[in-house]
Amino acid sequence: MRTSFSSPIEHNNRETKNFDSLEKNYNLMTKEYEQIANINVSNNIAHFRIIKNVLILNDVIDKVNIQHVVNTFENIDGKLLLILKKNNYNFILKLLSTFYVKLCTYANYSINEHYNNIFEVTLNKNFANFPSEVKAVHENLLKNAILLLSLILAQVHSKVIPHVVTLVDYSSNADVHGYIRKIRKSEDTQLRYFYYRYINELIKSSATNSIECEKIYKLVKKEFNEKKDIIIYSAIKCLTNLFIAHPEY
């Protein structure tokens, strides 16, 4: 049986083609987000193009010379912040989470450090005197940051994220830092599901102290009046793990 081997020239041509595809689709994806003017308006055509871009990125990311990858994604934190500010389609974040993990693994980035940088930017700002449009963009940014976090928890262990109280408080309807936090009252079932998935992982990781556990307990109890089964199921799961991790409840 003959075994065929590609020549160095064929290998280089294939790698060049993959690199061109990586760079092209990354630039096209970010350009799509730059052109979004209103985060409250869904554009199915733009979503389709972005999904196509991310699928290609996921396919070629580990088929390109590592130095080319490092150079291409030198400003990954800034670009990711742009995406999290503008994104209004949760499915894209699922695809993006796969790409983000692949990128950090292949390029040997510290995913903990990168994601902590995002939370430093999103959580430590006061928007009290800003126009409502700016508050809405920041609200969307933090919502998407939490959503993406719930998808990469295996890589970003919750113990390294020093923002537990703020993230738990995010579910309340209180006006904090000048913008309304809406997760528990949101009509976006998927957002609420991923938020409680994050809370559940916080509990299981034993990253919470007694004050934070009390906040979680009061928060989750309120969801038993919810009409949607998946939210009630998420609440039961959170409480079950809370009772296991903290028998005093």
Residue type, 60: V
What interhelical angle do 44-60 and 8-34 show, nearest 10? 150
pLDDT-derived band at 126, boundaries 50, 70, 90: low
Which residues have CB under 8 Å from 163's CB, separation 6+?
Answer: 119, 123
Check whether 195 has a pLDDT greater than 50.
yes
pLDDT-derived band at 199, boundaries 50, 70, 90: confident
Lowest mean pLDDT among 123-127, 184-188, 239-243: 123-127
DSSP characters for 124-178? S---TTS-HHHHHHHHHHHHHHHHHHHHSTTTS-GGG---HHHHHHTTS-SEETT
Which residues have CB under 8 Å from 47's CB, separation 6+?
Answer: 89, 91, 92
Provide the pLDDT for residue 163: 54
Nearest C-alpha neighbor of 106 from the set 150, 148, 60? 60
Top-confidence residue, 10 or 198: 198
Provide the pLDDT for residue 196: 82
Domain ranges across the chain: 8-123+133-154, 157-248
pLDDT-derived band at 162, boundaries 50, 70, 90: low
CA atoms of 92 and 77, how far apart (whole Å)? 17
Neighbouring-strand partners of residue 175: 180
pLDDT in tens, 1-37: 444 445 556 667 888 899 999 999 999 999 999 999 8
Check whether 124 has a pLDDT greater than 90.
no
The two structure tokens encoding residue 153:
């928890």
Check whether 157 has a pLDDT greater than 60.
no
Provide the pLDDT for residue 3: 44
Check whether 83 has a pLDDT greater than 70.
yes
The two structure tokens encoding residue 29:
């994806």
Q: How far is CA 5 from CA 2, 10, 123, 185, 200, in A?
A: 10, 10, 52, 59, 49
Q: How far is CA 213 from CA 96, 164, 206, 210, 218, in A?
A: 31, 10, 10, 5, 9
CA atoms of 196 and 226, how far apart (whole Å)? 13
**Nearest-5° Cα angle at 78, 180 to 29:** 95
DSSP characters for 166-210? HHHHTTS-SEETTEE--GGG-S-HHHHHHHHHHHHHHHHTT---H
pLDDT-derived band at 184, boundaries 50, 70, 90: low
- Does the reported pTM lie above 0.85? no
Lowest mean pLDDT among 71-75, 121-125, 241-245: 121-125
**For all residues of the chain together, what is the average pLDDT?**
79
Nearest C-alpha neighbor of 203 from the set 155, 230, 170, 168? 168
Average pLDDT for 187-205: 76
Provide the pLDDT for residue 10: 61
- With a pLDDT cut of 90, the percent of the chain lying above it is 25
pLDDT-derived band at 98, boundaries 50, 70, 90: very high
pLDDT in tens, 65-77: 999 998 999 888 8
Check whether 164 has a pLDDT greater than 70.
no
b/e per residue, 176-201, with b = 16+ CB within 10 A? eeebebbbbeeeeeebbbbbbbbbbb
